[in-house]
Amino acid sequence: GPQGQFKQFRHGLNDFVNKLEQWLKAHDVTFHYETPVHDLIGTQKGYYVELNDESRSFYDGVIVATPHQVFREWF
């Protein structure tokens, strides 16, 4: 029969997140958990991440995972 436009993960969205995390770690991606970010500054070559302690680091790319309510406050 016809396929719908929405997909479901066999073991839930959490399974997808766990597999993505495993893959990224296997490819030397750095993770920072529960780290409050003061600012995220995009440039042509990547992103500066400024933390609440005023330290700043540069990254090629950034994945932000946050509760929906926090995301809504940003926008």
Residues 6+ apart with CB under 8 A from 45: 60
pLDDT one-digit tens code per residue, 16-56 = 889 999 999 999 998 888 888 899 999 999 999 999 888 99
Backbone angles phi, psi at 26, to 5 degrees: -65, -15
Q: Binning pLDDT at 50, 70 and 90, where does residue 10 land? A: confident
pLDDT of residue 2: 62
pLDDT of residue 42: 95
Q: What is the rounded (10 degree) CA torsion for 28, 58, 44, 22?
A: 20
